[in-house]
Amino acid sequence: MSIKVGDLVRYVRSHPKEAFMVYQVAATLDDDDGSWILLLEEDDDCPDAPIAPGIWGGFGCWEESKEFIVVS
């Protein structure tokens, strides 16, 4: 299953204390190095807090899509 903008995802190998965290995909990119996703960013004024109910923010960097699974 291909990850799309707007999908809710979770790290495949998350730290056990962060296994509950769900993120939303802001952008996707495919290039010669692979398939990448960009997560919606966390709020700079309120770091380490959900950006929406049940949704955590990323850190503004591209990550390999194979590191994530889509959650329902």
- What pLDDT shows up at residue 1? 61
Count of all residues that appear for the chain in the document: 72
Total number of domains in the chain: 1
> From residue 35, how far is each of 2, 15, 31, 58 by CA, in Å?
10, 22, 7, 17
3 located within any domain: no
Q: How many CA atoms lie within 13 A of 5 on its CB side?
A: 5
Domain span at residue 56 reads: 8-70
Best CA proximity match to 10, nearest among 60, 72, 59, 53: 72
Q: Read off the pLDDT of residues 13-53 as tens digits, 9 standing for 90 and up.
A: 999 999 999 999 999 999 999 999 999 999 999 988 999 99
Rounded to whole angstroms, the Cα distance separating 39 from 49 reads 15
25 located within any domain: yes
Q: Tokens 């949704």 belong to which residue?
A: 55
**pTM for the complete prediction?**
0.91
